[in-house]
Each structure stands twice: as structure tokens, then as C-alpha cells.
Chains A and B, each alone.
Chain A
């Protein structure tokens, strides 16, 4: 399903744990940016060649999951499948102040956990690119009574640009079939 999952498990040495802490810090900074509504700053954490992808999840017969469970990046329709231009548009839309699905702004808390580095290139000690997996729980409450919980897995490729990590590829697996929310107006 995910090519990165099949790579041999990276050695758990000091360099690995140092790198993982650095990546975790990056994720916490991202969550902080979004949850404190510093959306423009968050955009700076995304690579210029970003691919931001959230497939839909299908109910399929046993044995067909690898092939058919998730919609694909290279064809058809998903929840999100877009570049940085489009994500930037989403931020611009919120900043108009008249994007009524986010006006008044929702309250969100993005929790990131189970962070693992699946691959570090060229190696953990001098990584310029990492492939990671993590779990997320995004809580969103808006206006008075509307509350949504988005829970799932995230598979990222981060690359270092001028010393800073940037999200180059993000695959978000929301653990829902029919979306249990009226909108996906937050970021993941």
C-alpha cells in the first residue's frame, strides 16, 4: 500500500532518536501554527513542490485492500489531491474573512503522535530527507455545538531546504468511509 512501509526498519540508535525529536518538534510547530491560526506561517513549512493528498477510503472485500481500499493519487477523485498553490488558496480564502464555513473561525486542536522515521536520507545523522509515519487526532469545534473528530494516519516526506524541514509530500489517511463531517475546512 505504502512503499515506505516496506523499507527495512531503520536502526534505532542515538542519531535516530535525535532526528525523530527534531521531526516531532517540526510537527508540533506545525500544529501550533494551525491551531493558533497563523496559517501564512504554516504555508512556509510546506515545500514549493508540495503534494497534499487525502484519499477516500472504500469498503472492499478481504484481500483487495492493497489494490482498492484507497483512492489513488494519479487518477480519480479524492478528498484532497493538490499542490501548494491550492493549499495557499485555502489560506487566502480564510483570510478574506467572508469564507462562511470558517467565519467565525473554528477552534482546532491538532494532536500528532506515534511519530516514526521510516527512512532517512542519506542517513539519520545527516538527514536531508525523511519519510515518516504518524497518527493524528484533529479536534474541531465551531460556532456553538458543531464538533468533529478527525482521526487517522499520516505519511510524510520531508526535505530540508536551507536548513529547515519542509513538507514535500503528505498522504493523509482519514479513518472514515462516508465523511462524518459536513466539511473539511481545517488542515491536516
Chain B
């Protein structure tokens, strides 16, 4: 099979068609590892996982194993988990606290900031030939702690994280901020890790705001597993957005989100009805959030994907997810579950129980997603199948730049009806990474969707 030399040829965004090759081809996959996962900002972990000096959490960036570690001085690092001598993983524990990372192979040791501490028989065998300062563990080029979430990139030329996040920031904020509107303050209460035989982009795309896949969750909606299910409420969550205008937003850097704007003067929608005490708590959070944020409180998140492979669930449930690539047709999902760190124990207990029955490989909702992603990948591998593009024309042309929705400006290329334009935007950017375009292009330069039309009128 001959492949186009440019990845852009896989993404016919004008006609809303995308080649299946990008989900199944090992060539494409190798290019993703080399050109995309080496440059984009990737989510690595959360500072609540490493509260104390010496704490570490072993994570991944693309296929690479990395260590998220707080050094003895309290500074956070992300280090490649591979000894500089012969490559052995210097850490095979998932998390813990340490003063040194000791390679089991030849006992080179590194301090928690990645610097070489010890090389056995250094004086006798290496003196004069090896400069220790040049053989620290490989460290990411840039790291950013955003409201407790740690992001990193291998590319020293990457724009700073907030530039990269762009207007997706306020959407991600809603997932990371306290339920009562205080900024930040989340903690990770556990991480699901599992492997499934599907291309990573199916998962990333799902969370860009593929609202259209709702029918695949029909079973769970029929039986009702939400926070008010004991009161006979069906569905998988409370419908706090029943009065809201939903918005689906695509951003210049390739991110996509599905959020909603409540109407002016909206009232609290009864939720968490399983337990009156829990319901009261969330009613309090709602009022407090309204008091703090004013009109901005009407803005609520749903789901989103921060380009390329970090997704979030904003409210019910609430989590961050990394879709780590294993191969063209295998992905490792890591779902980090979030609560407000200072929430009462009873609230945390209620939420974790809900999260577990909803999310991850044992979650009654997410199980059906994995089934879809697996067989969509499998059934796209054939030579004949690969000749036929996927269709992304849904709501094509229905989006607009920075519309005012229920009195609030929503920034981005925004649709107010169910759409797939975020996916098209995601893949346009994806192709430009694979074609090794410069950063200004990767941040949306030249993308006509983000050029104000005022000049033409």
C-alpha cells in the first residue's frame, strides 16, 4: 500500500472525509510517535499524587515511560525512565517516595532531580572519560503545573502551556476548579489503567464532544445509574443541563470540547437525590459558585479533549484521561478520578462509588465505548475497508466564530447543534504535526475558521 507523502492528504476537511489509514496504519503510527508525541503538550499526572519531597509517580508520554517526581527541594520534574548507561528502567514502582533512583542493571544512581549521584567504580573505570553533568536522566523540555495538573513537552520550541491551551482553558477550568467555584483545589483519588485493542484516536475523538454516540449508552440510560437513581431517575447522570444551550467548540490548537451555557436567571436543577445531605452539599456549591463567578457561573463543562490525547469529564463523573498509544491498534487508557481535595469524606465516598460504576473498564457506561472502539478499529483494517473514508460531514458549516450564547460570548469555532466539526479541526491539526509544520501553524495560523470575517463584510 502506498501512502500519501503528506498526512494532510488523509484529512479532506473541505469535504468532511478522513482516511481510515490514520486509525490502522503502522506507518502513520510511527509518524505520530516521532512528530506528534515528541512535540505536543501531554498530561503526565497531578501534584496531589506527589505531595512530598521525594514522592514519585511513574507515568507515560506517548510510548515513553517517564517519572513524575518532586525532588528533595520540592521542585517537580518529569524524567525519562531509562538509565543513560544501558537503558534499564530506573523505576519500576508505580509510585512511592525515594531519595535515589537506582538502576538495577549496573547500579548507576540518580537523585530525584535526575542528576547522576553514583557510578560504581567511577574513579577506576571512568575518570577523565565521562562528565557526570552530561549524563543526567533525560528531562522534558518544558513542564507546566496548571491548577495541580502537570503537563510536559519534549519540544523546547513549544509555546508555553497557556498559549497552547488557548480558549479551551475556561472549559478545562470547570473540570479542575472546586465545585463551589474556587480555582483549582482538585485531587486525584485513584487511577484506572487498562489496555484495549483500538487506535488511541477513537478515544480522543469520543471526548472531543461526540454527542452523537449517545445511543451506544442506551442500556445504562434505560436502567439508571446516576446520582439520583435511587429516586427512580433514569439515565447515567443528573440532567443539570436540561435548560441549557449546549455548545460544541473547536479551538485553533486542535482541542475540542462540549460544554453548555445555562439561560439567564436559571435555578439549581435538583440532583444527587440519592441522599438529601449530598443534594444539599451540591446545592450549596451551586449557590456559592454563582456568588463567586456571577454570570460566568452559567458556563458548565461536559467533556473535552485537550490535543492530542488528554480528555476530561467535567461534572458527572469527573476525571481526566490519557489515551497512551501502544501501537496502531492498541491503546492504554489511564483515567484519573478527581474530587475537591477539601470535600467532606461523605461526598468523596459518594462520588467515588458513582465514578466506579460509570467509568473505566468496569464502568457500566464506558464498557460500551470500548466495544465500539475495538470493532471500529478491527473492521477498518482490511484493504477494501481502507479505501473508504470515514464521514465527518455532520453539521458541516453550522459553526461560527465566537458566538454569543444566552448572553455570554463563547470563544472558538462553535456549533450550537450536535456536530463533528471538532473532530475535523482535531485532524487538521493532527496532520500538520505529522507534516512537521512550524508551531505558528500548529497553533492555528492560516486556519480560516479563526480569522475574523469582519474585514470581508
Taking Cβ atoms with an 8 Å cutoff, the residues of A that contact B are 54, 56, 58-61, 64, 68, 71, 75-82, 85-86, 89-90, 92-93, 96, 98-102, 143, 146, 177-185
Contact = CB atoms under 8 A, between A and B. Distances in A.
B194 A100 contact: no
Contacts, number: 122
A60 B94 CA distance: 7
A183 B457 CA distance: 53
Interface of B: 92-96, 189-198, 216, 218-220, 222-225, 229-230, 332, 337, 348-349, 352-353, 355-357, 360-362, 364, 367-368, 370-372, 374-375
A179 B361 contact: yes
B220 A181 contact: no
10 contacts: A75-B349, A77-B191, A96-B218, A98-B218, A99-B220, A177-B94, A179-B193, A183-B362, A183-B367, A184-B361
A46 to B, nearest CB: 16
A75 B374 CA distance: 32
A100 B371 CA distance: 7
Given A59-B94, A60-B93, A81-B356, A89 B368 contact: no
B335 to A, nearest CB: 9
Given A59-B92, A93-B219, A178-B195, A101 B368 contact: yes
Nearest to B96: A61
Contacts of A143: 375
A10 B302 CA distance: 54
Nearest to A85: B230
Nearest to B354: A86
Contacts of B216: 100
B195 A180 contact: yes
A179 B189 CA distance: 18
A71 B192 CA distance: 11
A185 B362 CA distance: 6
Contacts of A101: 367-368, 370-371
Contacts of B93: 59-61
Query: Which of B220, B223, B225 gathers most chain A CB within 10 Å?
Result: B223
Contacts of A89: 223-225, 229, 357, 364
A78 B356 contact: yes
A182 B356 contact: no
A29 B386 CA distance: 47
A181 B189 contact: no
Contacts of B348: 75
Contact of B195 (A58, A59, A60, A179): A179
Contacts of A181: 194-195, 361
- Kindly list the 8 A-B residue pairs having the minimum CB-CB distance in the complex, ordered from nearest: A77-B190, A182-B196, A101-B367, A179-B194, A99-B219, A184-B362, A96-B219, A76-B190
